[in-house]
Amino acid sequence: MRSLVRLGVEPLSYIDRYIAIRDSKHHATRARLVELHPLIVSRYDAYELALGLDALDGFESNEDAVADGNILRSCYAIATQALLALKEDIKAAQPERLLSLCPMCGITLPNTFDHYLPAIDFPELSVHPINLVPCCSTCNTKKDRYWITDEGERLFINFYSDLIPDTQFIFAQLITSPQIKSVGVNFYLNRPDGVEQEVWSLVERHFNRLHLLDRYLENGNTEISNLLEACSSHLAAGGVDAGLFLSHIGRSQERIFGKNHWTAVLAHALSVRQELNEWIERVS
């Protein structure tokens, strides 16, 4: 789990990118969007200020923007070359391979974009680059239009602005069953020392709302099999230390996705088990 890189403002500012999308619309839509331009500029400024002050939980929707929600959301809902270019530039701004998996869950390919502030409530931000988060359709569907509790606590990590703890907080507990000679896994969270409660509570809400531990569990047995098969191939090719091999796999995943990527955590958990060679023999 690693932060995303914000799209830069050169050579085009965020409002310039919006204008390019706006001006690609047909006449009637474009004319109304031009009338709304002062509102868009003020809302972009307010949104970016809230992000800079870490005050996003206090950012409220705008009645005038919501009243013109359909036309504002059309900037995103109807594909144009300018919108496609924006999406591609957001992806291109990320470190290599980071978007090979969804940043919100780390399980599947990010094949869509989530509006962190939902477009139904913040239609004026429907094409703001910092409000568009590459993600998988599962995370997008589970998140839906929800982003904040009735008490004003955000439900999901903002991968453009939130500080994600850089110490391990996802752990894998391997489970063995002598009866069927198999190994399974449970994942759990543990708050690291030095992580503030406010930060940790946001992490917990993110995991709970997206059912991430359950989703890791669903994929855990398959990933264990894949890792053990990789170890078997490594040994068959002349490798001599399966534990060290798995440790290298875990560190490789960490470099791309961070210390709290579930497959990295799982690889490290397997690498130190005394039963590892026995488990490898069962899949050989």
Start-to-end C-alpha separation, the chain: 32
C-alpha–C-alpha distance, residues 256 and 99, integer Å: 9
Mean pLDDT per 10-residue section of the chain, whose length is 284 residues: 91 94 89 95 96 91 95 92 95 93 95 96 96 96 92 94 92 80 88 93 96 95 92 91 94 93 95 89 77
Q: What is the pLDDT of residue 283?
A: 75
C-alpha–C-alpha distance, residues 270 and 276, integer Å: 7
Which residue carries 């059309």 as its tokens? Answer: 74
Contact 201, 40 (CB under 8 A): no
Contact 124, 187 (CB under 8 A): no
Helix axes 14-22, 37-52, angle to 10 degrees: 150
Helix (H, G, I), strand (E, B) or coil at 31: helix
Q: What is the pLDDT of residue 181?
A: 67
DSSP 31-64: HHHHHTHHHHHHHHHHHHHHHHTT-GGG----HH
Task: For 91-113, write each residue's pLDDT tens digit.
Answer: 999 998 999 999 999 999 999 99
- Spatial neighbors of 15 by CB under 8 A, at least 6 apart, are 40, 41, 44
Residue type, 12: L
C-alpha–C-alpha distance, residues 98 and 3, integer Å: 10
Q: What is the pLDDT of residue 177?
A: 74
C-alpha–C-alpha distance, residues 234 and 219, integer Å: 23
C-alpha–C-alpha distance, residues 199 and 205, integer Å: 10
Q: What is the pLDDT of residue 111?
A: 94
C-alpha–C-alpha distance, residues 95 and 72, integer Å: 31
| Nearest Cα residue to 262 out of 158, 106, 110 | 106
Task: For 40-94, write each residue's pLDDT tens digit.
Answer: 999 999 999 999 999 999 999 999 999 999 999 999 988 899 999 999 999 999 9
Residue type, 26: H
Q: What is the pLDDT of residue 113?
A: 96
Helix (H, G, I), strand (E, B) or coil at 282: helix
pTM across the whole model: 0.90
